[in-house]
Chains A and B, each alone.
Chain A
């Protein structure tokens, strides 16, 4: 990823750390970064279904975090920084897997439109909460996995990890409006897919009752 390339270039010009500096770096790394290992692993497992790959992505994330730790500003959000690296690791992995050159194809979906909230409204009115209670995790996992990669990552970081719009905008290097738009669209897609699944399983929605 571009971030990594930039970091690599900067790193090459730096003198090596002294033994004492290295010792302190390790202590800081253990205290500030390892406590987030569980969160990153859970997130990674949600992103990729193969456990070994999920763990490899987290491992690479921490190794890079250690390597480039002198770029991390003390007192800033270590968790957000780690997730930013993990996001890049995931993109690299995903790109290799799908052989897609970029994710820019999804950007066209991100234009703010007035229709967005109208669609959410429509679906919200047509759904019954109880229906979702009948669905098991597999359906939801499949629905999440079917989201475009950018939407999936943004949605999971917001809903699973509770990052704010501002933090997400920094992680993805996009405006806050894009984050808001991605979240709305991701949830809207999930609602549509889960509703379609529920109807396929024979559950009735308000839509059926209304004859729409």
Chain B
């Protein structure tokens, strides 16, 4: 059985999408059998979801994207001439 400290490192790897199949299996097995680690795992997952949700609330409209693209194209044109 994996120790809890190793599992903490694996949680970060797993949530970053960097854990291999073997590490993923070890992690899930441990989490299912250890309540403390399951709490941490659930918290880490929720914390990341929260951060992602909040960061994606930053407004970027299609209009400002197209305006910026136009401005860049114009500047490139000026630089070339």
- What residues of chain A have their CB less than 8 Å away from a CB belonging to chain B? 22, 34, 37-38, 41-42, 45-46, 55, 58-59, 62-63, 66-67, 117-118, 120-121, 124-125, 127, 129, 132-133, 137, 140, 156, 158-160, 162, 164-165, 180, 183-184, 187, 190-191
Contact = CB atoms under 8 A, between A and B. Distances in A.
Contacts of B47: 124, 127, 129, 132, 187, 191
A179 to B, nearest CB: 9
Contacts of A45: 58, 60
A129 B50 CA distance: 9
B51 interface: yes
Given A59-B72, A59-B75, A129-B46, A38 B65 contact: yes
A135 B55 CA distance: 13
A63 B13 CA distance: 36
Contacts of A118: 5, 8
A144 to B, nearest CB: 8
Q: Is the interface of B mostly helix, strand, loop or mixed?
A: helix
A59 B50 contact: no
Nearest to B46: A129
Given A34-B69, A45-B60, A129-B50, 18 more contacts: A55-B64, A59-B68, A63-B75, A66-B76, A67-B79, A117-B5, A118-B8, A120-B8, A121-B40, A125-B36, A125-B40, A129-B46, A129-B47, A132-B50, A137-B57, A160-B56, A165-B18, A187-B12
Contact of B72 (A42, A46, A63, A117): A63
Interface string B9-24: 1001100111000000
Given A117-B9, A183-B16, A124 B68 contact: no
B13 to A, nearest CB: 8
A172 to B, nearest CB: 15
Nearest to A136: B54
Nearest to B13: A180
> How many residues of B sit at the interface, in one of the four size bands?
35 or more
Contacts of B56: 42, 160
B46 A132 contact: yes
Contact of B51 (A58, A162, A190): A190
Given A45-B60, A164-B18, A159 B43 contact: no
Contacts of B46: 129, 132
A121 B19 CA distance: 19
Contacts of A46: 55, 58
B12 A180 contact: yes
Contact of B12 (A38, A137, A160, A184): A184
The 3 A-B residue pairs with the shortest CB-CB distance, nearest first, are: A117-B8, A129-B46, A124-B40
A140 B69 CA distance: 29
B39 A125 contact: yes
